[in-house]
Every structure is written in C-alpha cells, then in structure tokens.
C-alpha cells in the first residue's frame, strides 16, 4: 500500500476527530446556556437551545460513524 495515501487518510481521520471534539464542546456550551435558563427562563431561547443541542448531537453521531467506517477502510488498506 502506498504510504503517502495512508498518511493522508490518517491525517483526514485526525481532522474528523477534531470536528467531533468541536461538536462535543458546542454541546457542552449549549448545556451551560440551558442550565442558566433554569434560573432565568426564556421559552423561546430554550426551544432554540434544545434544537441546537439535537443538531450538534446528531453531528457527533454522524462524524463518529464516519470515523469508524474510515478507520476500518484504513485498517483494510494497511492489511493488504
């Protein structure tokens, strides 16, 4: 297998990990806002934060799945 291609794929996998970590950080920040809203309720902002939380969670799941698939492809290429 072409080592350059494997190195490029590993680099891409690292970028996917960074994206996943960024999304998880966004979820954490959204949770802080949601927690703050317990003391200062705002129904419209709560709805928006709930939607944003769901979208960020969906993004984490999608990236995680992509990473798992990509990692399996890397492993398969390494074993050829």
Q: Which domain holds residue 52?
A: 3-78
pLDDT 10s digits, 49-78: 999 999 999 999 999 999 999 999 999 999
With 0-12 CB in 10 A as exposed, 13-18 as middle and 19+ as buried, what is 26?
A: middle
| DSSP assignment of 29-49 | HHHHHHHHHHHS--HHHHHHH
pTM over 0.75: yes
Q: What is the pLDDT of residue 1?
A: 59
Query: How many domains are contained in the chain?
Result: 1
DSSP state of 12: H
């Amino acid at each position: 297998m072409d080592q350059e291609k494997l190195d490029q794929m590993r680099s891409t996998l690292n970028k996917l990990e960074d994206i996943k970590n960024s999304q998880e950080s966004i979820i954490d920040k959204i949770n802080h806002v949601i927690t703050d809203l317990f003391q200062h309720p705002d129904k419209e902002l709560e709805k928006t934060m709930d939607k944003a939380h769901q979208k960020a969670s969906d993004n984490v799941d999608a990236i995680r799945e992509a990473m798992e698939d990509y990692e399996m492809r890397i492993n398969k290429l390494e074993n050829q």
